[in-house]
Chains A and B, each alone.
Chain A
Amino acid sequence: MPLDEIRRRVGDVEKHARRRDRGLYACAAVIISVWAAVMWWLPDLRVTAAISMAAACWIAGQAYKRSAARSASVDLAPVPGLDFYRASLERERDVHHSLPVWFVPPVVMSTTAIVVGFLMTPRFPHGPALFGVVAWIACGTCAALVVGIRKHRREAQRYQALIDALNR
């Protein structure tokens, strides 16, 4: 492979990482702006908006931190195969293991704040439509969290089984 081509590919990888980070910042910016608008225009939902903004910031920050940690460092590339394999499996296991820990509390907090905010505000008349929306938000979030937690737990167990097989 020509060296110019290699340098071009290294540049592409760096560009891709920068683009991914920009996408993450853009998502966080949109969510935060929407909640900032809610804070400004709907003062009775200020607490809900503040909690949701904090949750969005926390999730974006963690996603950025962990996605950077996931990419294998060039330092690890020349280590013996067994060490590299074990380290890679442990990293993947830890990612799946820790994901619910840092992802679930802010989502639960934010959803609770939204549900309570909707029920407390006099802005929306208490009727079947409001209760339906609130129930949909609460149940949808719970279902997504349960499915996500179970999936990540299964993945973490799968990686742990591979690590155990290596240690045998």
Chain B
Amino acid sequence: MDDGKSEGPAGQAKQDELYRQVAGELGAAMDRLARAYEPDPERRRDLLQDIHVALWRSLALFDGRCSLRTWAYRVAHNTATSRVIRRRGAPELVSLDELDAAAVPQDREQALDRDRAMDRLMALIRRLGPLDRQIIVLYLEGIDAASIGEITGLSSGNVATKIHRVKKVLIARFHEQAERNG
């Protein structure tokens, strides 16, 4: 396995420089991304550290074929997706259709922080499968459909359709939860 070390001190310096640049530009976005994957603050910190480590290691291979931002988002989402796939005993992830059709369980609803809209939204996002989750998180970061397509590997048209569907479902579920919470 590649240990993520660049060849020679010059390569290492370039890797460090690229990392500093990404961390400076996207550090806050990475925090928000981790929030969309981990509700528990301890685990979220752990995930965030894993993302930074994966990012630094991957930058040894950065070849400029895509933008640094696309590269960083790919690495961050893929690191988080690995966790989702390997996690045991986690709530089952659902497709958009299932999330649309499923009733919101009362106890889960009570467990949510009722006063914080963002927490409720994140709790809904965390129930989505990795790809839908990636798309909506990137959309919430204000990234356009073409760039989301580049990051996820889907076509722009497909991304636009998915964003529309995810938004529609999340808005409906969000309002439903808000009404139940009074």
Contact = CB atoms under 8 A, between A and B. Distances in A.
Nearest to A83: B153
A1 B85 contact: no
A73 B2 contact: yes
Main secondary structure of the interface of B (DSSP, over half): helix
A77 B4 CA distance: 11
B3 A14 contact: yes
A1 B31 CA distance: 11
Contact of B152 (A71, A77, A78, A81): A81
Interface centre among B1, B150, B154 (most CB of A within 10 A): B1
Nearest to A76: B78
A6 B20 CA distance: 12
Given A71-B1, A74-B57, A80-B153, A92 B85 contact: yes
A88 B53 contact: no
Interface in B97-156: 129-131, 134, 150-154
Interface of B: 1-4, 16, 19-20, 23, 48-49, 52-54, 56-58, 60-62, 71, 74-75, 77-79, 81-82, 85-86, 95, 129-131, 134, 150-154
Given A3-B20, A75-B2, A83-B153, 14 more contacts: A1-B23, A6-B53, A74-B58, A74-B60, A77-B54, A78-B61, A78-B62, A80-B74, A80-B151, A81-B134, A82-B153, A84-B74, A85-B81, A88-B82
What are the 7 A-B residue pairs with the smallest beta carbon separation, nearest first?
A80-B153, A82-B153, A81-B152, A1-B52, A84-B78, A77-B58, A77-B75
27 contacts: A1-B48, A1-B49, A1-B52, A6-B19, A6-B53, A10-B56, A68-B1, A74-B4, A74-B58, A74-B60, A75-B61, A77-B54, A77-B79, A78-B62, A78-B74, A78-B78, A79-B74, A80-B152, A80-B153, A81-B131, A81-B152, A83-B153, A85-B85, A89-B85, A92-B86, A165-B95, A166-B131
